[in-house]
A and B are shown apart, each in its own frame.
Chain A
Amino acid sequence: MNKKHRMFIRMVMASLLRRRSRMIVALLAIVVGATILSGLGMIYYDVPRQMSAQFRSYGANVILTPSDGTALKDSAVNQSMAFFPSEQLEGYTPYRYENTKLHNLPVTLAGTDFASVLKTSPYWHIAGTLPNQNGQTLVGKHIAEQFGLRVGDSLEPINSFEVTEDMDVTALLPEEVYTDPATGERYCDHILSLTVAGILETGGSEEDYIYVTLSDLKDFTLTDRGYDIVEVSAAAREDALKGYLTAINQQVSGVSAKVVKRVTASESTVLSKLESLVLIVTIVVLALTMICVATTMMAVITERRREIGLRKALGALDSSIVAEFLSEGLVLGGIGGLIGSILGYLFADVVSMNVFSSAITFRPLLLPITIVVSVVVTGLACLIPIRSAVDVDPALVLKGE
């Protein structure tokens, strides 16, 4: 490194250090600009993902039904679930419906997996608790009103059928089975003893069902025929979902997968609005902030017209003056950009934790982008006042015009 270069670096550094208060003003402006740039950038990139997860509160957006009119088997369900990327799959819940009688009135029993049911139906309002073992039941509000059921009450739906030779009767109690003396045929009134753990309020058709565990339903009906419907909640956009479903419909036999249009179509509409809201807000705020940074830089440089004039009077070349001031600006821009991008990340993380209770994904690419933008904006902002100062006759500048 030759002498000239060393002198140049010394001049830039000395100027930055000597004029501390002014430089802090300039640096602060750049840091604020860079913080907003990287913070909003990160929020903008993360909002669709985070919001999409919020929209899962509408519940299942895909349903699987048997394509051949029978029932869904575990193997087919597991095979289908493999098509959803695991980080997008919020959960899935199988349902099996059986008609039966309670106090001689027809009711529908729904067997389900209570461990996953709130993943696909987060909007269920339960008075009491969710059943966590066999023998407990969740009763729809209509049914509860109809039969006057409260939490803790017991109910005993009865499954009446004719006992045939090929039936597995190990689950039946001896006193449930009786023989018709006239025909010699054996009948059974199989009872399922349930305790109401909770009462379900949804405002929808779910209020008309009695929910029990799948194994209770299996014991009650003496069969395990599979599921009538499987609800799936996946945090994916409509297009991606349709892609998975096409693959499932083609490759898994016996399964017909459909999107719940009400949920997916509405989600696309609202989510795209939200995204464009954040985008346009980001653009407006960024543009204004950058102009703000530029004006501050311009003010700081304009102040130093006397210095420029003095240098020129002493014989400095225009180009060397421009180069020096510009590098001062660029050093400031670089430092400010770096500090700002880190602050921006911290800010975005605070926002994400507060709004969505999850950490923000760090976008490494935003770091260089923020620094480059800060450097370019400061550079441009310096250039304009320097050029006008350099173009002026030093005598005029020094005189204080």
Chain B
Amino acid sequence: MFFRMITGAFRRQWKKMLMIAMTVALGASIATAMLNVMLSVGDKINEELKAYGSNITVVPRSEAVISHLYDVDETEEQAEYLPEETLGEFLTIFWANNIVDFTPLLDTPATVNGQEVPVVGAWFDHHLAFVKKGTTYERNTGIINLRSWWDITDGTWLDEAKLKGDRYAMVGQKLAATLSLKAGDTFTVATDHGTETLTVTGIFESGDDEEGMLFTTLSTAQRLTGAEGQYKKAEVSAITSPDDELAVKAAKNPDLLTGDEYDLWYCTAYVSSICFQIQEAIPQASASAVRQIADSEGKILEKTELLMALITLMSLIGATLGISNLVTSGVMERSAELALMKAVGAKNGQITRLILTEIILTALVGAAVGYFMGYAFAQIIGQRVFSSSIEMSGMVAFLVTILVIAVTLVGSLPAVRMILRLRPSEVLHGGH
């Protein structure tokens, strides 16, 4: 009988039920879209912030100590290098997936046409394959993504994969002007360790000191420096979590953390824990955060996430009120029908059960439709803004379902209470 009444109600009142379902669907779609966008906005903005370049630098550990211990003069200081094989270790650390890009750098003074020129060797878009303990790690990485602000004013980026050999260079605008070089030109660069004839692939504008430098492949720079298979410094761009109290505490000295704190710190992508892991993997290296990038990233991420959270909260409140509003009016509307049921002897509990079952069934259908609508909206936002899809969290589906049921129940409460107080004769008589 109960089921017949419910199916009957749906058949007879499908228009009203449809209205309620539609409103619930709209509310649920706002909730779904906003919650999903909110949960993934941190990652998305973090990726965008990678445009600022590397946030970690890796240098040989002993560099700072040598001159202190032996009081050697700067000019005679023994250059310290890291072996090129260590670069693969970046791919093996706990947070390797958060390392977006990295490049080794090897700089040396050189002369071109008798003029002093700073030469920097780097990976441009290097294919790295690293084998450790039987596992092969592969990655394409290099300076192309770490210098997103470079404008190539002439020619193209140095494409390591396409070009034959490694005797190529990219020249800063200022240097290109003084040497009167343009894309496609060849020139000779000389150091104490030899000479190389390089072809210019492109001229770049960077707005900083690098405009006066010459960038070439790492292998060419190694020959010019006489440091075969070595590099001086590495720039690493990693997706990190904003620093909090724990990170600040750990930055001072990881040994002071308690066991639990240490585990939490180690397994969170703080810039300090990534640095620590790099040093673990490459014992002869010292990794430190580039504060300008790391700190600002944290600040902007925090602000964006908070902003989105509050907008989401606002939309949720709006959606909630919208749903409960309509549910209230939907139930109230049927006072005549419910009063009649009371008149023919239905108990309050029975009526309440009937009403709530109806409403919740309607709301769940609405929520299901709304979830998929919300999915579509989230994807539109993701594609439009970040040109990438937004990951749907299973938690959101669960949350939205709970939210819809709770809101519908709360929304029907005042109406149900009113109905229970109804005096059938009054309602049926028509005077309320």
Name A residues whose Cβ lies closer than 8 Å to a Cβ of B.
21-22, 25, 28-29, 32-33, 35-36, 39-40, 43, 47, 51, 54-55, 57-59, 103, 105-106, 121-125, 142, 145-148, 201-204, 258-266, 269-270, 273-274, 276-278, 280-281, 284-285, 288-289, 291-293, 295-296, 298-300, 303, 347, 350-351, 354-356
Question: Are the C-beta atoms of A277 and B385 separated by less than 8 Å?
Answer: yes
Which residues from B are CB-within-8-Å of A350? 310
Q: How far is the CA of A303 from the CA of B15 in the complex (A)?
A: 12
Determine the chain B residues whose CB is within 8 A of the CB of A142 once the complex forms. Answer: 64
Chain B residues within an 8 Å CB radius of A146: 64, 67-68
Chain B residue contacts of A121, Cβ below 8 A: 292
For A54, what are the chain B residues with a Cβ–Cβ distance below 8 Å?
299-300, 303
From B124-132, B200-208, B214-222, B419-427, give the one contacting chain A.
B200-208
B325 engages A296 (CB within 8 Å): yes
B19 and A299 contact, CB distance less than 8 A: yes
Interface set, chain B 297-325, CB cutoff 8 A to A? 299-300, 303-304, 306-308, 310-311, 314-315, 317-319, 321-322, 325
Contact A288 B291 (CB under 8 A): no
| Beyond A36-B315, A204-B290, A285-B311, 20 additional pairs, beta carbon < 8 A | A22-B332, A32-B318, A32-B321, A103-B71, A121-B292, A203-B288, A261-B149, A266-B49, A266-B53, A266-B148, A269-B51, A277-B308, A278-B311, A280-B384, A285-B318, A292-B26, A295-B26, A298-B19, A351-B310, A355-B310
B22 within 8 A of A: yes
Which B residues between 42 and 99 are near A, CB-CB below 8 angstroms? 45, 48-49, 51-53, 56-57, 64-65, 67-68, 71, 73-74
- Asked if B30 and A259 make an inter-chain contact with CB atoms under 8 angstroms apart, the answer reads no
Could you say which residues of chain B place their CB within 8 Å of the CB of A203? Answer: 56-57, 288-292, 294
Contact call A270/B51, Cβ cutoff below 8 A: yes
- Contacting pair B52 A273 (CB below 8 A): no
Instruction: Assess whether B152 is interfacial by the CB under 8 Å rule.
Output: no
B48 touches A25 (CB 8 A): no
CB within 8 Å of A: which B153-193 residues: none
**Alpha-carbon distance A17/B384, docked complex (angstroms):** 46
Q: Does B34 contact A (CB under 8 A)?
A: yes
Partner of B322, one of A32, A123, A201, A264: A32
Chain A, residue nearest B321 (CB): A32
Residue on B with the closest CB to A205? B209
Q: Closest chain B residue to A43 by CB distance? A: B311
**A25 to B329 CA separation, bound complex (whole angstroms):** 7
Q: Which of A204, A259, A280, A303 contacts B291 (CB 8 A)?
A: A204
Considering the complex, give the chain A residue whose CB is closest to the CB of B51. Answer: A266
A55 touches B51 (CB 8 A): no
Q: Which residues of B contact A299 (CB under 8 A)?
A: 16, 19, 326, 329-330, 333
Q: Is the CB of A351 within 8 A of B51?
A: no
Q: How far is the CA of A274 from the CA of B29 in the complex (A)?
A: 22
Binding site for A on B (CB under 8 A): 16, 19, 22-23, 26-27, 29-30, 33-34, 37, 41, 45, 48-49, 51-53, 56-57, 64-65, 67-68, 71, 73-74, 148-149, 151, 205-208, 288-296, 299-300, 303-304, 306-308, 310-311, 314-315, 317-319, 321-322, 325-326, 328-330, 332-333, 377, 380-381, 384-386
Q: Look across to chain B and name the residue whose beta carbon is closest to the beta carbon of A147.
A: B68
Once the chains are docked, how many angstroms separate the CA of A285 from the CA of B27?
A: 9
Cβ contact within 8 Å between A58 and B149: no
Whether the pair A105, B67 counts as a contact (CB closer than 8 A) is: yes
Q: How far is the CA of A347 from the CA of B310 in the complex (A)?
A: 10
For A303, the closest partner residue in chain B by CB is: B333
Instruction: Knowing A54-B303, A146-B64, A269-B51 are in contact, say whether A202-B33 is a contact too (CB < 8 A).
Output: no
Please give me the 4 A-B residue pairs with the lowest Cβ-Cβ distance, nearest first: A261-B207, A265-B149, A292-B322, A203-B290
Contact A292 B27, CB 8 Å, known A142-B64, A259-B207, A347-B314? yes
Whether the Cβ atoms of B306 and A202 lie closer than 8 Å is no
Chain B residues whose C-beta falls within 8 Å of the C-beta of A281 in the assembled complex? 34, 37, 308, 311, 381
List, in ascending order, chain A residues with CB within 8 A of B291's CB: 123-125, 201-204
Q: Which residue of A lies closest to B27 (CB)?
A: A292
Is the Cβ of A273 less than 8 Å from the Cβ of B23? no
C-alpha spacing A394/B385, complex, angstroms: 52
Contact residues in A for B52 (Cβ distance below 8 Å) = 58, 262-263, 266
Residue in A147, A292, A350, A354 with the greatest tally of chain B CB atoms within 10 Å: A292
CA distance A350 to B311 in the complex (A): 11
Question: Once the chains are docked, how many angstroms separate the CA of A15 from the CA of B306?
Answer: 44
Of the candidates A21, A274, A295, the one whose C-beta lies within 8 Å of that of B19 is A295
- State which of B304, B315, B380 has its C-beta within 8 Å of the C-beta of A280: B380
* B307 x A25 contact (CB < 8 A): no
Contact A25 B289 (CB under 8 A): no
Closest CB in chain A relative to B58 CB, distance in Å: 11
Contacts of A103 in B (CB 8 A): 71
Instruction: For A277, list chain B residues within 8 Å (CB).
Output: 37, 41, 308, 381, 385-386
Q: List 9 A-B contacts (CB under 8 A).
A: A28-B325, A29-B325, A54-B303, A57-B299, A145-B65, A262-B208, A265-B51, A288-B319, A350-B310
Interface centre among B29, B53, B73, B311 (most CB of A within 10 A): B311
Whether the pair A296, B149 counts as a contact (CB closer than 8 A) is no
Q: Would you call A40 and B49 a contact (CB within 8 A)?
A: no
A298 to chain B, nearest CB (A): 7
Query: A285 touching B149 by the CB < 8 A rule?
Result: no
Decide: A270 and B45 in contact? CB cutoff 8 A: yes
Q: Do the beta carbons of B149 and A262 come within 8 Å of each other?
A: yes
Contacting pair A33 B318 (CB below 8 A): yes
Contacts of A201 in B (CB 8 A): 291
Residues in B whose Cβ lies below 8 Å from that of A293: 322
The reply to whether A284 and B292 form a contact with Cβ atoms under 8 Å apart is no
- A291 and B26 contact, CB distance less than 8 A: yes
A57 adjacent to B296 (CB under 8 Å): yes
State in angstroms the CA–CA spacing of A266 and B146 once bound together: 11
Contact A295 B22, CB 8 Å, known A32-B322, A124-B291, A203-B289: yes
Instruction: Check if A284 sits within 8 Å of B380, measured CB to CB.
Output: yes
* Cα–Cα, bound, A152→B372 (Å): 63
A32 to B68, CA, bound (A): 67
Minimum CB–CB distance for B73 against chain A, Å: 7
Q: Could you say which of B26, B74, B385 contacts A288, with CB atoms under 8 Å apart?
A: B26
Contact of A276 with B385 in the complex, beta carbons under 8 Å: yes
